[in-house]
């Protein structure tokens, strides 16, 4: 049975809250809880745990993991048949997220989820990406090694322990996301990441579909398809958004004219730059500068 997939839009990345260990004797089961408000990652390190969430049920064996939603009811479906040890990690996100039945569903709904993400004022990032994590998974030895780091930090002072656990959690999530990519449409993800990196490194140049075709050796339609799958936008639209993000920095950090900033970030006509900027930000470049700069 294919596992459902949790789809997170980042930034911000999901963040670590707390972790611990539990032990189940023979005949005990996981407690029933309703809408606990955080994601609950459960990793079985010995034995077997039987879990349910809504109408879904899982048998989680040693070396396997399951992520329970913050907004659902979960419960033990059976008692443990042997002594069972688990690691639990609570985490959450400020960003938009969803649960999909398959990767194709996640990619199909990606644009609407990104739009929902950006509707929140403090999450209005242009450069967002998707994180895909299976709800039920067999963990690799590397993933298990990262998890063990959480408890090797117990002797650290609290101030250092919290920072290091956050870092370990980000490494763990990154590993799961990369593993997910390796087992799905890896070719599309690889191509989209190449296009995105090329744009970031060359956004001041004249970038066209013809140039991307020459640099990537793929037809522009295929490049657009890959970018839409992974980033929810076409290469040329991504280029425009990235240029505007760089222009916003220059409007605040320099006293350059709007025309010069437009040229610096790759727009050949100041009027077209102002039009694109206003359409995206809902405010002209000059008014954007005035909004953040207060002269004495």
Q: What is the pLDDT of residue 49?
A: 97
What is the mean pLDDT of the segment spanning 121-142? 80
Q: What is the pLDDT of residue 114?
A: 79
User: Average per-residue pLDDT in the chain?
Assistant: 88
**Plot region of 27 (φ>0 → left; ψ -120 to 50 → alpha; else → beta):** left
What is the mean pLDDT of the segment spanning 1-26? 88
Task: Look up the pTM and report it.
Answer: 0.70
% of the chain beyond a pLDDT of 70: 95
- Tell me the pLDDT tens digit for each residue of 106-130: 877 877 887 788 777 566 666 677 8
Say how far apart CA 288 and CA 160 lie, in whole Å.
39
- Tell me the pLDDT tens digit for each residue of 173-232: 988 888 877 666 678 888 988 999 999 999 999 999 999 999 999 999 999 988 887 777
What is the mean pLDDT of the segment spanning 249-258? 92
Q: What is the pLDDT of residue 230?
A: 76
Q: What is the pLDDT of residue 254?
A: 92
Distance from the Cα of residue 246 to its chain's centroid: 22
35 has a pLDDT exceeding 80? yes
- B/e letters for 207-225, b = 16+ CB within 10 Å, e = fewer, are beeeebeeebebebeebbb
What is the mean pLDDT of the segment spanning 44-68? 95
CB contact set of 88 (below 8 Å; sequence gap of 6+): 19, 20, 21, 22, 40, 41, 42, 43
% of the chain beyond a pLDDT of 90: 57
296 has a pLDDT exceeding 60? no
**DSSP character at residue 30:** P
Task: Report the greatest alpha carbon distance in the chain.
Answer: 73
Between 177 and 81, the more confident residue is 81
Which pair of structure tokens corresponds to residue 223?
A: 């490049």
132 has a pLDDT exceeding 70? yes
- Tell me the pLDDT tens digit for each residue of 85-111: 999 999 999 888 999 988 778 877 877
By the 8 A CB rule, do 253 and 235 touch? Answer: no
């Amino acid at each position: 049975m294919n596992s459902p997939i949790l789809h997170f839009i980042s930034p911000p990345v999901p963040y670590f809250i707390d972790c611990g260990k539990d032990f189940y004797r023979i005949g005990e089961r996981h407690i029933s809880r309703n809408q606990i408000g955080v994601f609950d990652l459960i990793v079985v390190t010995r034995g077997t745990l039987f879990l349910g969430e809504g109408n879904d049920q899982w048998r989680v064996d040693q070396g396997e993991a399951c992520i329970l939603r913050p907004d659902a009811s979960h419960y033990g479906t059976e008692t443990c048949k042997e002594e069972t040890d688990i690691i639990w990690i609570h985490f959450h996100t400020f960003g938009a997220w969803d649960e999909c039945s398959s990767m194709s569903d996640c990619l199909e709904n990606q644009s609407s989820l990104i739009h929902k993400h950006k509707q929140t004022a403090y999450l209005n990032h242009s450069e967002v990406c998707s994180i895909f994590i299976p709800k039920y998974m067999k963990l690799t030895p590397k993933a298990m090694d990262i998890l063990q780091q959480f408890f090797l930090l117990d002797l650290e002072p609290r101030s250092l322990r919290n920072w290091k656990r956050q870092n370990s959690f980000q490494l763990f999530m990154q590993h799961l996301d990369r593993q997910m990519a390796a087992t799905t449409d890896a070719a599309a993800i690889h191509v989209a990441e190449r296009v995105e990196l090329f744009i970031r490194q060359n956004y001041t140049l004249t970038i066209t579909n013809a140039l991307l075709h020459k640099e990537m050796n793929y037809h522009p339609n295929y490049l657009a398809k890959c970018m839409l799958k992974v980033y929810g936008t076409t290469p040329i639209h991504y280029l425009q958004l990235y240029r505007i993000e760089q222009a916003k920095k220059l409007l605040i950090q320099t006293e350059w004219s709007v025309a010069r900033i437009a040229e610096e970030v790759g727009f050949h006509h100041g009027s077209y730059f102002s039009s694109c900027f206003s359409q995206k930000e809902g405010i002209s470049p000059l008014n954007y500068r005035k909004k953040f700069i207060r002269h004495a």
